[in-house]
Structure 1
Amino acid sequence: MGDRAADEAEHRVHIGSFTSSGGRGITTAALDPVTGALMELSTTDALADPSYLVSGVHIGVVYAVSESPEGTVGAFIGEGRGLRPLGAPVPVGGAGPTHLDVAWPWLLTAHYTSGGVGAVAITEDGSLTGPPQVLQHHGSGPDPARQEGPHAHQVLPDPSGRWVLSVDLGTDSVRICALDEATGTLRTHSETALTPGNGPRHLVFHPDDEVAYVVNELRPLLTVCRWDAEAGRLEPVAEVPLAVEAPSGAVPGGLEEGVRAYPSAAVVSLDGRFVWVAVRGADHLVTLSLADGPEKPRLVGTVDCGGHWPRDLALDFWRNRLYVANERSGDVTWFDVDPETGRPSRAGSLPVPAATCVLLG
């Protein structure tokens, strides 16, 4: 029994969910390293609507955003079979935060509703303290329903650690910012304009650190960009459709007429050979090959996501498995990936109501 408990503690997965839609907050599950299967261990609803999670620098510490009008972040520490709060939630200084990442000693947050990014201080024990530092975005896009103002959807440090990038769906742009390590102040260094109306949502880097891929939500496209860490410059070079050729008379992407495709998240294989993108509406996982080079993704196929509305995608690099948080069907589905073709094959699922993200420990 002791060996099994030690193994469970070593392979933990944390899953965020919308408590306002029937979710249980953060679910902690044990991951079977052989099969990839998940087994629920515990849940905590200590933070409302913890829609996105990230690991801290401290072992066992997890941070979560509360995607709520008041906008807070919470710190948690592993204890027994689950997590317990590490201090009280801290305001982020913006509304509806959707994403967070760590740039030690700061926790970065992206505020979708109010349209900005911020930084909250991380203390020596991993807990959080205010007040937050906030950089407000400005601008809009051509879609009056979704782009009436700025909507920062993601914030992350670049691989070099020199810059912070913020992806704004409302302004069709990615901002490159400098972070003052002493004060947490964010300053805009440059802003990269993407195609108007695309609605950029999520960015991932290729392992060579010189190419980045931007997932667009309002149009099913992947924007390929060159990244210059020395200059802090992001340059768009191509757009790749995230839809397969449909049979004659059918709607592209396999959608019913009038239904739109909303790409949500992407991951890149550790060896830099494949990109996978989750697409809501179509409820697909799209596989793109990078055999022609990092700047030339080639769509090679799609598979069903195993549920409905795949909001997040995570990759177990070492065991070549994908985990998908299907928000509206309320499950996390996992896939084995063929190492030669990159094709995912459904292997199982765990019920998680209103699942929003998957954090592999």
Structure 2
Amino acid sequence: MTAAARAADGRRPRRAYIGSFTSAGGLGVLVAAVGEESGALTVIGAADDVPDPSYLTLSPEGDTLYAVGDTTPGAVAAYRVTSDKPELTGPPAAVGDGPTHLCLHAGHVLTADYGSGSVTAVPLRPDGTLAATASGKLRHTGSGPHPRRQQEPHAHQVLPDPSGRWFLGVDLGTDSVRVCALEDGVPVVHHETALRPGSGPRHLAFHPDGPDGSRVYVLNELAPTVTVCRWNAFEGLLEPLGETPVLPHAPEGDAYPSGLVVSPDGRFVWTATRGTDVLSVLAVEGAGLRLVTTVPCGGHWPRALAHAAGTLYVANERSGDVTWFTADPDTGVPVRGGSIEAPAASCVVLDV
């Protein structure tokens, strides 16, 4: 939709929201206008009420933004985003230590608490604001073979499945994904799927191939690969099928995959890898993936990816910018479009 058409039907210009680490010089939550045709970003506001708002998510209506405070102890906050400056709706609610991700599910905000290896549920009031206290917490157990990163659980992501019945918790420390449900506001494990020991799963995404999302892609941080899984929403079961490298050669130094997104048409998967500072293009071929190519991410230490309207956005944490790319619809290869300054950027979410 063009800017004129959006104005005609009363819609404001598209917005992007950028999380950042205030402890590393970030400005908190940045608000940016999104160019209707180009996808280019222009910063128009900011709010620094919450320390280290490293990950964000929007309400379905787009008028409330939720942010984790990646601190110890951790917190989750709700902002009204009906103006250029986000406004806190009330005091943040306490969650586990070092939350790195959050989602909305069944009338709650769920947080993945990396430091304490837990998932916390905070109820939502009818107006979208947060309840004062959490309704329940699930503490993960287990470990992995990595001597430094896997001595204990480290919940890194929590995401609802397309059916709305389940949510999946990705744990880097235990090399597993937990399929869970909410029972009276308390997260409960339904099934735990073990992945390859030492792989260090970080984030996952569903393939848009139906209401059950029958394929799931799990990005592994400690081994630069994607694990392709079969998802059974009826039974709540996740089954690993195989791994695909996200780099053409074994890395000579540090290489830590961070984010992944699936194209809306389901033909491509894009990933970002810190250290090598590249974006990888993977083609979806049947039940598997094939690495097509890699391109520079436009900065240093790409922490997260987002996609909207044919544009990829990369939050480059250490170079302090958000770079955008146009993805070729035939090959999936991203072509750099531009960037904005965003100190200690950690994630990007868009309101469409």
Q: How many angstroms apart in 2 are the aligned matches of 1:28 and 1:273?
A: 30
Q: 2:289 aligns with which of 297, 300, 307?
A: 297
Question: Deviation string for 1:315-354 (max 9, x for gaps)?
Answer: 01xx211000000000000000110000000000000000
Q: How does 1:95-134 map to 2 (within 5 A)?
A: 95-132=97-134, 133-134=136-137
CA 1:57–1:122: 2 relative to 1, 3 Å: farther
> CA shift at 1:131, angstroms?
2.2
Find the residue that maps to 2:126 and give its secondary structure. Answer: coil
Q: Which runs of 5+ in 2 are unaligned?
A: none
Q: How does 1:194-343 map to 2 (within 5 A)?
A: 194-208=195-209, 209-245=213-249, 252-253=250-251, 257=252, 259-290=253-284, 292-293=285-286, 295-316=287-308, 319-343=309-333
Q: 1:346 aligns with which of 301, 322, 336?
A: 336
Output the amino acid matched with 2:345. Answer: A
Aligned to 2:139: 136
Aligned to 1:61: 64
| Structure 1 runs (4+) greater than 6 angstroms displaced | 2-5
Name the Cα RMSD after superposition. 1.6
The answer to whether the 8 Å contact 2:13/2:36 transfers is no
1:9 equivalenced with 2:1 (yes/no): no
Aligned to 1:248: none
Output the amino acid matched with 1:334. Answer: W
> CA shift at 1:5, angstroms?
11
> CA shift at 1:218, angstroms?
0.6
The answer to whether the 8 Å contact 2:141/2:153 transfers is yes
CA 1:279–1:308: 2 relative to 1, 3 Å: same
Q: How many angstroms apart in 2 are the aligned matches of 1:238 and 1:309?
A: 27
Find the residue that maps to 2:101 and give its secondary structure. Answer: strand
> CA shift at 1:4, angstroms?
11
> CA shift at 1:82, angstroms?
2.3
> CA shift at 1:156, angstroms?
1.0
Q: How does 1:64-103 map to 2 (within 5 A)?
A: 64-92=67-95, 94-103=96-105
Output the amino acid matched with 2:130. Answer: L
Question: Deviation string for 1:103-137 (max 9, x for gaps)?
Answer: 13100110000001011011011110132110000
Output the amino acid matched with 1:344. Answer: P
Output the amino acid matched with 1:321. Answer: T
CA 1:337–1:59: 2 relative to 1, 3 Å: closer
Question: Deviation string for 1:212-246 (max 9, x for gaps)?
Answer: 0000001101000000001110000010011114x
Output the amino acid matched with 1:271. Answer: D
The answer to whether the 8 Å contact 1:335/1:346 transfers is yes
- Count of aligned positions: 343
1:21 equivalenced with 2:24 (yes/no): yes
The answer to whether the 8 Å contact 1:8/1:31 transfers is no
Find the residue that maps to 1:128 and give its secondary structure. Answer: coil
> CA shift at 1:57, angstroms?
3.5
Range moving further from structure 2, 53-62 or 206-215? 53-62
Output the amino acid matched with 1:273. Answer: R
Find the residue that maps to 2:288 and give its secondary structure. Answer: coil
1:152 equivalenced with 2:155 (yes/no): yes
Q: How many angstroms apart in 2 are the aligned matches of 1:14 and 1:4?
A: 22
Find the residue that maps to 2:12 and give its secondary structure. Answer: helix
Output the amino acid matched with 1:157. Answer: P
Using the aligned pairs only, state the percent identity: 53
Find the residue that maps to 1:297 and give its secondary structure. Answer: strand
Q: How many angstroms apart in 1 are the aligned matches of 2:62 and 2:296?
A: 35
Aligned to 1:33: 36
> CA shift at 1:179, angstroms?
1.1
Q: How many angstroms apart in 2 are the aligned matches of 1:187 and 1:324?
A: 33
Find the residue that maps to 1:219 and give its secondary structure. Answer: coil
Q: How many angstroms apart in 1 are the aligned matches of 2:231 and 2:200?
A: 20
Q: How many angstroms apart in 2 are the aligned matches of 1:104 and 1:10?
A: 29
The answer to whether the 8 Å contact 1:9/1:30 transfers is no
Q: How many angstroms apart in 1 are the aligned matches of 2:115 and 2:269?
A: 29
Find the residue that maps to 1:129 and give its secondary structure. Answer: coil
Range moving further from structure 2, 103-112 or 7-16? 7-16
**TM-score in terms of structure 1 length:** 0.92
The answer to whether the 8 Å contact 1:329/1:354 transfers is yes
